[in-house]
Amino acid sequence: MNVVIVESPAKAKTINKYLGKDYKVLASFGHVRDLPAKDGSVKPDEDFAMDWVVDRDSNKRLTEIANAVKGADKLYLATDPDREGEAISWHVLEVLNKKKALKDVTVKRVVFNEITKSAILKAMAEPRDLDDELVHAYLARRALDYLVGFTLSPVLWRKLPGARSAGRVQSVALRLICQREAEIEKFVPQEYWSVEAGVKGDEGKSFMSRLFAMNGDKLKKYDLNNEADAKTAAALIERTPLKVSGVERKPARRHPQPPFTTSTLQQEAARKLGFPAQRTMRVAQSLYEGKPIDGEVTGLITYMRTDGVTIAQEAMNATRGVIESRYGDKYLPDSPRVYKTKAKNAQEAHEAIRPTDPMRTPSEVAHTLDADEKKLYELIWRRTIASQMESAVAERTTVTIMNADQTAELRATGTIIQFDGFLSVYQEGKDDEGDEDETRLPMIKEGEVLTLEGVEPKQHFTDAPPRFTEASLVKRMEELGIGRPSTYASILSVLRDRSYVHMERNRFIPDDKGRLVTAFLEKFFTRYVEYDFTANLEEQLDDISAGQEDWKKVLAEFWEAFKPKTEEIIGVRNSVVIDALDEFLEHMMFPEAKEGGEDPRKCPKCDDGRLGLKTSRYGAFIGCSNYPECGYTRQFGNKGDADGDGNADEPATLGSDPESGEPISIRTGRFGPYIQVGEAVKGEKPKRASIPKDIDTGDVDLEKALALLSLPREIGAHPEDGKMITSAIGRYGPYVAHDGTYAKLQSSEEVFTVGLNRAVSLVADAKAKKGGGKTVLKELGEHPEDGDAVRVLDGRYGPYVNHKRTNATLPKGTEPESVTLEQALEWLAAKATKKKPAAKKKAAAKKAPAKKKAAPKKKAS
């Protein structure tokens, strides 16, 4: 008997069918060991020794693996073909050695880029030994990330209340987002003008031309910077007749892009499909692990974590065969296209992401895929086919036109696609900059006199640099050599989960907390958030995987400089830190002086107070230097003025309260926008109501304000006991309440519209949950270990997956209906790992008294 270890249970079933009865394929369910989430798990003073722990679920699996291996002839470690996969194999091997399960067992490593029968059988015929260099690179990366997180985060907690944590790569990604925001804030639009003229040739077809030069000098972008100059320039064009002085036609070719890497797949899926990086990787994992095809589970794409752009010769031949049969000989180049990776610090080479069988078209597999899988498979299939097709052939035409006295030169350009080539299958998505539209010009001859149809000066303003989308941020990180394909999705997710950034219209906007953390790191840990430093460290990690660097030497050099720096900053007084950040962030907090040149830091409430950065247990805010005599505060990110109660200096008045006649206004305080009736009287707070996050402040009118101020709203008496059911908005969002039972509402708007029948139903569901009942959103199937149900349930704080007593919250943005059993098992395993340290603490607490009693006996002896 031979034992094969893979990561996923779904993969294990498929591969067992391929290998037959002489093999037993078992799943590790991902990583089997991890560093415990506490300080001291990596020991720099002990040659970077690491304490690994095995969680309860993994221990059961490893025991099962050990029992299977003890009676086996060979053990094949067949985890994923990347650094993480090599690490999982190493962890399994280490545990099996400790369990003394490998006596007389031959151990080999096998890797396959796709889950198809031919690929599996070929891999099993070509085993190798475990790659120590890849394992060392994993250990170095894991230790670095751990040491940065557990050494730097406590510094943040002490110096910046409200900060969550810092990470080696995530902090640099956050800096990119914050720097872009600072560029946008500092940006000053610059005015410029262009002059366009509509003209018509002998054929009678009109086209647009643009003023290119005046008096023989080519116009630069800002040469026409006001309306008067633009109108003067326009007058020159009106000196007709206009004559064509030249027609230049140049051939142009557009070449296809290489097949997908992890990075380019995430970028294109974001542009074309609107998928966040995590969603892309989750769907790609499903396609990689396989779908039922002709009665057999088959992987549809190759491994999805890769920097490589090459494809295997067999797949290359099949791709060319598809092109020839579906599109014809003219779309097939004479020889295959060969691509080389352009990514900085490309990881160990694997194939690009491609269909396992290019002959398997999207329409042929559509019946076995869900909506997301169909879209992503088609994207991958089209990109792969296009990568081996002929280039598109175009003709670029430039027409030069002169006015009567040669003082104005106009130009018109157009592109005609003469042969679409690869464009018939795939076109690259546009970046923020976009591409020029392809326009077609009529046939124009040199010397032809054109009719002027109109001249129009156009005003323009330069645009601020765009905020990052997931696609553009991943692209920028890849260009800088920051992070690796397997880490991009998790990095972006962590930034959102820690409330350092949020998304608006699919673009990253840094939150105040994120900007403050970035400012702190830039000011006090400058070297460690520099792009070059992070990229160079990635290069060293790659050198370790190539056997060119010693991993412990790299760690020692990093730690030797990093540890003293953290100790130095811990010793700096908090007041010094806040003063430094106050100066560093001045441009953000006080972007410009008030009219008349008044100091923007002058307190609007007291005469001699000065505004500056302050911190509290809730985070940062802007306050007056005369505190507590002057209680003026405003939000850290709010650049407007506020009065002593955190109110806007000139609040937006919506109207008068019909009961009191007092003005109702919208204001902004330390905790966000709210509505207030009248003004504060000493010793007495005015009536206020917060504006919920899901209601746009700009949409709040007098009617909406009065509704918010009137909460809680009485919906009606419960038909069973006659007690009132109410709706309101609380700390955890909108809800209905009845006799101590609370039920969540979907939105703040529903607070004002929910009817009695709906409210009674919600309360009944909430009471059922309270009494142990659960709302089952989806049955996922049986757990492979014990056969117990794995389900998606609806809880007080949202949907979660459940198995026995283990619950795991769904990642943000995950729809309950889309959850698969494989995903649920991974989340449950991860949650079980996190529970382990807590269980240890309880056990230690119980044993403590016994240790105290034993101590005197030892001394006496």
Residue 636 counted as domain residue: no
Angle 554-522-158 (CA atoms, 0-180°, nearest 5)?
90
What CATH number is associated with residue 522? Answer: 1.10.460.10
Residues 213, 452: contact at Cβ < 8 Å? no
User: Does the pLDDT value for residue 212 go beyond 90?
Assistant: yes
Strand partners, 208: 198
User: Does the pLDDT value for residue 313 go beyond 60?
Assistant: yes
3-class state of residue 113 by DSSP: coil
Q: How far apart are CA 109 and CA 86, in angstroms?
A: 9
User: Does the pLDDT value for residue 312 go beyond 70?
Assistant: yes
User: Does the pLDDT value for residue 430 go beyond 90?
Assistant: no
Same structural domain for residues 386 and 267?
Answer: yes
Tell me: the pLDDT tens digits for 761-797? 888 888 776 655 566 777 787 787 777 788 888 776 7
- Sheet with 2-6, strands from edge to edge, namely 23-27, 2-6, 74-77, 106-109
Residue 602 CB partners (closer than 8 Å, separation 6+) = 609, 610, 611
Closest C-alpha among 468, 304, 307 to residue 379: 304
Same structural domain for residues 310 and 364?
Answer: yes
Tell me: the pLDDT tens digits for 610-642? 899 888 766 778 888 888 888 788 777 644 433
- The confidence band for 124, taking pLDDT boundaries of 50, 70 and 90, is very high
Residue range 175-186: mean pLDDT, rounded: 91
User: Does the pLDDT value for residue 341 go beyond 80?
Assistant: no
Residues of the chain with pLDDT > 90, as a percent, come to 42
- The confidence band for 846, taking pLDDT boundaries of 50, 70 and 90, is very low
Domain that holds residue 384: 262-390
Between the alpha carbon of residue 219 and those of residues 195, 248, 706, the distances in Å are 11, 20, 58
Strand partners, 811: none
Q: How far apart are CA 175 and CA 517, in angstroms?
A: 9
**pLDDT, position 646:** 40
**pLDDT, position 852:** 41
What CATH number is associated with residue 122? Answer: 3.40.50.140
**pLDDT, position 637:** 62
Residue range 200-208: mean pLDDT, rounded: 88
Lowest model confidence (mean pLDDT) among 297-311, 586-600, 687-701: 586-600
Element (H, E) at 528: none
Rounded to 5 degrees, what are φ and ψ at 733?
A: 110, -170
- The confidence band for 331, taking pLDDT boundaries of 50, 70 and 90, is very high
Residue 766 counted as domain residue: no
Residue 604 counted as domain residue: no
Q: What six digits make up the tokens of 39?
A: 């300080």
**pLDDT, position 11:** 84
User: Does the pLDDT value for residue 857 go beyond 80?
Assistant: no
Q: How far apart are CA 119 and CA 126, in angstroms?
A: 11
Check whether the bond before 628 is cis (ω within 30° of 0): yes
- The confidence band for 672, taking pLDDT boundaries of 50, 70 and 90, is low
Residue 470 counted as domain residue: no
DSSP character at residue 269: I
User: Does the pLDDT value for residue 440 go beyond 90?
Assistant: no
Tell me: the pLDDT tens digits for 348-361? 457 899 999 999 99
Lowest model confidence (mean pLDDT) among 240-244, 407-411, 804-808: 804-808
DSSP character at residue 345: T
**pLDDT, position 771:** 52
Residue range 400-429: mean pLDDT, rounded: 91
Same structural domain for residues 101 and 15?
Answer: yes
Same structural domain for residues 18 and 56?
Answer: yes
Q: What six digits make up the tokens of 490?
A: 């998790």
Length of the chain: 861
Lowest model confidence (mean pLDDT) among 299-313, 407-421, 491-505, 657-671: 657-671
> What is this structure's pTM?
0.70
Tell me: the pLDDT tens digits for 446-485? 999 999 999 999 999 999 999 999 889 988 998 898 887 7
Strand partners, 664: 655, 677
Of 531, 551, 576, the last residue of a domain is 576
Instruction: Tell me the residue type at 418.
Output: Q
Q: What is the mean pLDDT of the chain?
A: 85
User: Does the pLDDT value for residue 753 go beyond 50?
Assistant: yes
| H-only helix segments in 215-261 | 227-237
Tell me: the pLDDT tens digits for 538-569? 889 889 988 899 999 999 999 999 999 999 99
**pLDDT, position 429:** 66
Rounded to 5 degrees, what are φ and ψ at 845?
A: -65, -35
Instruction: Tell me the residue type at 309.
Output: V
**pLDDT, position 176:** 95
Lowest model confidence (mean pLDDT) among 87-91, 547-551, 567-571, 607-611: 607-611
**pLDDT, position 55:** 82
Residue range 381-401: mean pLDDT, rounded: 94
Residues 391, 256: contact at Cβ < 8 Å? yes
**pLDDT, position 818:** 77
Same structural domain for residues 14 and 116?
Answer: yes
Q: How far apart are CA 471 and CA 463, in angstroms?
A: 20
User: Does the pLDDT value for residue 849 go beyond 60?
Assistant: no
753: burial class by Cβ within 10 Å (0-12, 13-18, 19+)?
exposed
Same structural domain for residues 514 and 448?
Answer: no
HSE-CB for 229 with a 13 A CA cutoff: 13
- The confidence band for 844, taking pLDDT boundaries of 50, 70 and 90, is very low
Residue 310 counted as domain residue: yes
Same structural domain for residues 784 and 796?
Answer: yes
Considering only residues 639 and 31, tell me which one the structure prediction assigns the higher pLDDT: 31
Same structural domain for residues 34 and 144?
Answer: no
What CATH number is associated with residue 406? Answer: 2.70.20.10
User: Does the pLDDT value for residue 811 go beyond 70?
Assistant: yes
Lowest model confidence (mean pLDDT) among 224-238, 288-302, 582-596, 705-719: 582-596
Strand partners, 809: 800
**pLDDT, position 597:** 63
Residues 305, 489: contact at Cβ < 8 Å? no
Closest C-alpha among 701, 796, 695 to residue 750: 695
Residue 698 CB partners (closer than 8 Å, separation 6+) = none
Residues 28, 84: contact at Cβ < 8 Å? no
Residue 823 counted as domain residue: yes
Of 556, 576, 596, the last residue of a domain is 576
Residue 605 counted as domain residue: no
Structural domain count, the chain: 5
**pLDDT, position 324:** 94
Residues 478, 263: contact at Cβ < 8 Å? yes
Residue range 61-81: mean pLDDT, rounded: 91
Same structural domain for residues 276 and 362?
Answer: yes
Closest C-alpha among 39, 821, 170, 757 to residue 517: 170
Residue 534 CB partners (closer than 8 Å, separation 6+) = 168, 169, 172, 480, 481, 482, 528
Same structural domain for residues 223 and 302?
Answer: no
Considering only residues 638 and 529, tell me which one the structure prediction assigns the higher pLDDT: 529
Residue 424 counted as domain residue: no
Closest C-alpha among 199, 201, 198, 197 to residue 442: 201
What is the residue-wise DSSP string for 536-597? HHHHHHHHHHTTSS-HHHHHHHHHHHHHHHHHHHHTS-HHHHHHHHHHHTHHHHS-SPPGGG
Same structural domain for residues 811 and 854?
Answer: yes
**pLDDT, position 372:** 93
Catalytic residue numbers, as ranges: 303
Considering only residues 359 and 798, tell me which one the structure prediction assigns the higher pLDDT: 359
Same structural domain for residues 180 and 195?
Answer: no
What CATH number is associated with residue 322? Answer: 1.10.290.10
User: Does the pLDDT value for residue 43 go beyond 60?
Assistant: yes
Element (H, E) at 96: helix 83-98
Q: How far apart are CA 230 and CA 455, in angstroms?
A: 11
Between the alpha carbon of residue 736 and those of residues 478, 692, 704, 706, 718, the distances in Å are 48, 16, 19, 19, 12
User: Does the pLDDT value for residue 113 go beyond 80?
Assistant: yes
